[in-house]
Amino acid sequence: MFNTIGNIVLSIIKFLSLKWMPAFLRFACYGLAGVACGLMLVFMTLLNAFGFLGDNPDVCATCHVMRSHYVTWSKSSHARDATCNDCHVPNQNLAKKFAQKQKSGLWDMYIFLTRQEPQVIRLSENYKEIVQENCLRCHPRQTQTMALYNQTDRFCGDCHREVVHGRIDALSSTPYARYPGIINLQN
């Protein structure tokens, strides 16, 4: 079996090396690949895609629908100790963390490019599981308390929704808030 897989991999490498192609066409293909990679790099730089690899909450606020979330978080008790990624991204290991960031980044890019962004954002069921795991990771004593009262199936946000983001998360919920990197004309 390994021999078969090895042969397949070698065939792919041989094909991608373009040795079967005339030299002038091979040069053109490599040139086009270089130009495509360069354009992709410029595109990713213009979109600040590399900023999303880190944990800086200011990057999350670059999307207009996330600004109220940023402002309410920055005024909460969690702003001192937690960033967006501490709550909204799996923190078990780096592979899961970056896989989720990539998945949600591509989804967000699709939503924004197709102009489907909602004005009020709700936490999806998938993200509720991630947020719940992260709540219990940072607050392990509350897990014991929940078990004591037989409430282990409850979502922390059901009772503690306003702790981080407040009750309303919409563009109109923080109309005079100061956002990072944005001139506030109201004041």
The tokens for 8 are 């397949």
Residue 185 has pLDDT above 80, yes or no: no
Say how far apart CA 36 and CA 102 lie, in whole Å.
20
Say how far apart CA 127 and CA 132 lie, in whole Å.
8
pLDDT at residue 1 in the model: 56
Instruction: Name the residue ranges covered by the structural domains of the chain.
Output: 1-46, 60-178
Residue 39 has pLDDT above 50, yes or no: yes
The tokens for 5 are 């897989």
pTM as predicted: 0.64
Residue 187 has pLDDT above 50, yes or no: no
The tokens for 144 are 């014991």
Give the right CATH number for 60-178 from 1.20.1530.20, 3.40.50.980, 3.30.70.1140, 1.10.3820.10.
1.10.3820.10
State the burial class of residue 68 (Cβ atoms within 10 Å of its Cβ: 0-12, 13-18, 19+).
buried
3-class state of residue 83 by DSSP = coil
More confident position, 59 or 168 = 59
pLDDT, one tens digit per residue, over 134-147 is 888 888 887 777 76
Say how far apart CA 37 and CA 5 lie, in whole Å.
29
The mean pLDDT of 110-128, rounded to a whole number, is 82
Are residues 146 and 50 in contact, defined by beta-carbon separation less than 8 angstroms? no
| Residue 170: strand pairing partners | 120
pLDDT at residue 184 in the model: 45
